Homo-oligomer: A and B are copies of this chain.
Amino acid sequence: MASKHNTIMKDIANKIGMSVVTVSKALRGHPDISHKTSQKIKTIAKEMGYLPNYLARNLSARNSNTIGVVVPKIAHYFFGSIIEHIYNKAFENEYEILLSVSRENAKNEIKHLQTLMSMKVDGIIISITQETSDFEIFEVVKQRGIPLLFMDRIPPISDVNTVAFNDRIGAFNAVEQMIKVGYVRIGHFAGMESINIGLQRYLGFEDAMNKYNIPINPDWVMKAGFGEDDGYNSFMKLYSDDNLPDAIFTVTYPVAIGIYKAVKELGLKIPEDIDVICFGDANMQKFLSPQLSCIGQPTEQIAELSMEILLDNIRKKQNGFSPRNKIIETDLILRETCINYKNRDRILNDVNDHNNKHNRIVKVQF
């Protein structure tokens, strides 16, 4: 056993013959203490290898300089990327992050939220699970006065901070793109409607189909989960029913990956036998064959905006703060699927129109 050399303020105080309070104040740069002694104390603290005990500090100071983050998954480009940016932002602002992963399980989610409250986090950013249907726990968090912000996946409750992508318009853009390329036999591998991103993306799909007067074939609308397996299974189902559409818009990129996997197994070809476009970008999509076109979600933007709003909420907590609801626009990223080179000029033209109308840059990457 190494002898635990754990310096506390008292040790420093004893060493220079002053009180603990003086040491505490000096270390924090409190104006009560003269510059001279303040410097002396800091020097000695460093010499003695003093490290503050945050548990004690936070218990009395009543804030923890810690932000809790709850996400459904982590080994996933979308969340991995967001979390990385949240960390960066937290680090800049001298906050620590307590990360919890609910694994798409509502029970875990509740438990994690309770733990975060017990840890006295200053605020919480959460992306709810696809099965969350009881929203009471969120009321509890609010009741306790802990700033709360929902990111990307948002429950239908009011008076809370939210930051989300414009799922409906994004989905609309994707499906409109499919239509412009000439598809009418269009399917949608959707998410559950109980969660905003599932519902909104479905509605965007519907909007586009309606706008162009294309009937929706319910057989081609598969409402399942957000994972690779869901895409794989849905595709296999349609294939074995011998009822494939010409092109599919998927609710997330893992679902599209599931299709790629199934297609490979079945010896089919993308885009010849089946074309695909998805909601959500990931690094790997550039290396797929063919490269997957998608709706890009600026992860850095959602992470930064979420942190900014939450930090603002934390600072203004005492003097009142009204919830904010932000929507972030998405990008249409065209690569090698759902793109017909013969129509290139027409597409570029349409994209310009769209940009003018929505005051938004749609990226086209041929």
Contact of A59 among B55, B64, B320 (CB under 8 A): B55
Counting chain B CB atoms within 10 Å of each CB, which of A6, A119, A143 scores highest? A119
- Let me know if A2 is at the binding interface, CB within 8 A: yes
- Let me know if A43 is at the binding interface, CB within 8 A: no
Which 10 pairs between the two chains have the least Cβ-Cβ distance?
A289-B289, A284-B284, A75-B80, A4-B145, A55-B59, A54-B118, A75-B84, A75-B81, A99-B99, A87-B101
B4 with A144: CB separation less than 8 A: yes
B51 with A117: CB separation less than 8 A: yes
Chain B residues with CB under 8 Å of A58's CB are 55
Given contacts A2-B142, A5-B144, are A74 and B101 in contact (CB under 8 A)? no
CA distance A120 to B284 in the complex (A): 39
B84 with A74: CB separation less than 8 A: yes
Q: What's the nearest-Cβ distance from chain B to residue A244, in Å?
A: 20
Contact of A119 among B2, B96, B120, B284 (CB under 8 A): B96
Closest residue on chain B to residue A65 by CB atoms: B115
CA distance A18 to B103 in the complex (A): 41
- Let me know if A288 is at the binding interface, CB within 8 A: yes
- Let me know if A257 is at the binding interface, CB within 8 A: yes
- Let me know if A140 is at the binding interface, CB within 8 A: yes
User: Can you give 25 contacting A-B residue pairs, CB < 8 Å?
Assistant: A1-B318, A4-B143, A4-B144, A5-B143, A49-B140, A51-B117, A53-B59, A53-B118, A54-B115, A54-B118, A55-B55, A55-B119, A74-B80, A74-B83, A74-B84, A75-B80, A75-B81, A80-B80, A84-B101, A257-B287, A283-B284, A284-B284, A287-B288, A288-B288, A288-B289
